[in-house]
Amino acid sequence: MNKPDLIEYMLASTAHYNHKDITQAVNVILSAIEDSLASGERTEIRGFGAFDLRYHPPHVGRNPNNFKPGKELRESVDRGKVKEAT
């Protein structure tokens, strides 16, 4: 569910509020959560869940498109292709 889906769900669930009011309420709630996270705080909504930031150390990424096989691997693969062809 994304933000517009949440707004439409809330709009369908309540008859007392219009689209503008619900959009404003959702924006205020999300802004409060965002501000809390930006200041390093944890936000908990009882019965719903908690929002907090966790640090994950960076990892080394590898691009498989840049792979260059070594001489031994290339020769081994080539020999396998020759065996399959015969």
Domain residue spans in the chain? 3-51
Task: For the full predicted model, state whether its pTM sits above 0.85.
Answer: no
Q: What is the 3-state secondary structure (H, E, C) of the chain?
A: CCHHHHHHHHHHHCCCCCHHHHHHHHHHHHHHHHHHHHCCCCEEECCCEEECCCCCCCCCCCCHHHCCCCHHHHHHHHHHHHHHHC
Tens digits of residue pLDDT in 11-57:
999 889 999 999 999 999 999 999 999 999 999 999 999 999 998 99
Q: Is pLDDT of 83 > 70?
A: no
pLDDT, greater one: 63 or 82: 63
